[in-house]
Amino acid sequence: MLPALLALAIFMQMLDVTVLNTALPSMARDLNASALHMQSVIVSYVLTVAVCIPISAHLSDRFGTRRIFMAAMFLFGLGSLLCALSSQLSMLLVSRVIQGMGGALLTPVARLVLMKSFRNAELLRVLNYAVMPALLGPILGPLVGGYLVQYASWHWIFLINLPFAVLSLFFASKWMPNYTEKPGKLDLHGLLLFIGSACLLTLGFELAGHIASPALSGMLILAGFFLLLGYKRHSTHKQNALYPGHLLSVRTYRIGLSSNLLSRIGMAALPFLLPMLFQISFAYSPVQSAFLLLPMAISAMAAKPFLHPLLNRFGYRSILLSNTILIGLLITALAFIDAQTSTVWISLHLLLLGAANSIQFSAVNTLTMARLRPYQKSSGNSLMAVNQQLAMGLGTAIGAMLLRYGQALFGASSVQTATTAFQFTFVIVGLITLSSAFIFRRLHAMDGHNMTQKQGA
């Protein structure tokens, strides 16, 4: 039952994340908000997840895995219910923060229980079984969201979480062990510096799209960078730092972390931008929009078996360099589609983009962790997960910021966003992705060679 419980938690989270994107335009109309401000609904959740992940292990050790998992599931269910009951955007954002507090703890705690409950020989099989539903979430999410919005209401995209939450609470109370450990001393100083930096940077980019507050957004971004530098200095001198400074002394980890952040920004913006483009600019229905996004999710799953043969044949450096350029060009090429473009052509474009994206981040994640020592893997894995969440939040915030600037630049009305504003946004976001290729150039030809040999064997 433990692998089934983790599978249920992962599926619920992945469904919740992906089901939301196609519903944003309808939610904006119902909440009397601009569709171009709805990115806050995504950013508030992923930012909360990012800042709560670092304390998941500490809380589990202190209070026990079952207690924390059940508390997290309760918060996630409560946040989902409050989201469905929200009548204003501000209330929805607060509800998403509550939901994110629960979501941040669910998967790490459930994974920790599996690692403590099964022998190493069984662990890989068990984890593979548990994460399989994560592959279905991105496929089912847009379709479920599209149909619920079109034939019911957007409130149901949150209400469908409640049966999963109740079922998970029941299973956890019956079968989940309550493992505890003597917790280490929490690096509160480092935690506050890290959280403050993440919040200020994300909020700064959020406000950057509001033409009336460029000075404030600049100050927030600058303050966020100063806090990040403060954390870097703190981590090099603190013996038990939240994320020790010696992690960044591993060259491949340092390259993987920075490239992951920069290259994810472009792809993280697309789940927000594409449904907006299809529904607002092209006047497609939520269901039509969902079906157009489907090829990207299907090809992402289908491409995974090809990763290891490609890495064995060409190596990490060649694959990541060429694939990054391909993704950047494909994102930029989205600027050339309009309402008259064939849906078949759009589907083929997104099919290729999904496959390239899947290869990209599977390879980056493997390379990032490849050369860490055993004592570095726990904190290194946690920091990589936080980095991915921050990239999702920043990508969504930057995509929305560029879209609002494009709207102001090209004189589009607030109701019908001009396709030109989207084209402007896709070009800039594509160039950001292309720039991450310069980071991958720092890889050596033999980096990851031992990993490909193991995978091939």
In this prediction, residues 260-283 reach a mean pLDDT of 87
User: What confidence category does residue 450 fall into, taking pLDDT thresholds of 50, 70 and 90?
Assistant: low
**Is the Cβ–Cβ distance between 445 and 321 less than 8 Å?**
no
pLDDT for 414 equals 47
Over the stretch 150-166, which tens digit does the pLDDT of each residue have? 888 889 999 999 998 99
**Is the Cβ–Cβ distance between 141 and 17 less than 8 Å?**
yes
Report d(CA 387, CA 8) in Å as an integer. Answer: 24
Per-residue pLDDT for 297 more than 90?
no
Supply the mean pLDDT for the chain.
84
**Is the Cβ–Cβ distance between 57 and 159 less than 8 Å?**
no
Per-residue pLDDT for 262 more than 80?
yes
pLDDT for 345 equals 94
The percentage of the chain sitting over the pLDDT mark of 70, rounded to a whole number, equals 92
How far, CA to CA in Å, does 347 sit from each of 90, 352, 366?
Answer: 35, 9, 29
What is the distance of C-alpha 313 from the center of its chain? 29
Per-residue pLDDT for 100 more than 70?
yes
Identical fold for domains 1-174 and 246-457, yes or no, is: yes
Per-residue pLDDT for 176 more than 60?
yes
46: nearest Cα among 104, 7, 3: 104
Over the stretch 186-197, which tens digit does the pLDDT of each residue have? 888 888 998 899
The residue assigned the tokens 């044949």 is 313
Report d(CA 375, CA 356) in Å as an integer. Answer: 32
pLDDT for 84 equals 93
User: What confidence category does residue 456 fall into, taking pLDDT thresholds of 50, 70 and 90?
Assistant: very low
21: nearest Cα among 36, 47, 9, 39: 39
Report d(CA 371, CA 377) in Å as an integer. Answer: 9
Report d(CA 159, CA 154) in Å as an integer. Answer: 9
- CATH number at 246-457: 1.20.1250.20
Rg (CA), the chain: 21
pLDDT for 401 equals 86
pLDDT for 415 equals 40
pLDDT for 448 equals 65
Q: Where are the chain's structural domains? A: 1-174, 188-242, 246-457
Over the stretch 360-411, which tens digit does the pLDDT of each residue have? 888 888 888 778 887 787 788 888 888 888 888 888 888 888 888 888 777 6
How far, CA to CA in Å, does 273 sit from each of 331, 343, 356?
Answer: 11, 17, 19
pLDDT for 128 equals 67
Over the stretch 118-151, which tens digit does the pLDDT of each residue have? 776 676 677 667 766 666 777 788 888 888 888 8
Over the stretch 404-419, which tens digit does the pLDDT of each residue have? 888 877 765 544 456 8
**Is the Cβ–Cβ distance between 274 and 418 less than 8 Å?**
no
- CATH number at 1-174: 1.20.1250.20
pLDDT for 75 equals 94
Helical axes 307-333 vs 343-370, angle rounded to 10°: 130
Per-residue pLDDT for 453 more than 70?
no
456: nearest Cα among 361, 317, 324, 315: 315
Least confident range from 199-213, 246-260, 371-385: namely: 199-213
Contacts of 13 (CB under 8 A, 6+ apart): 76, 103, 106, 107, 137
Report d(CA 275, CA 142) in Å as an integer. Answer: 9
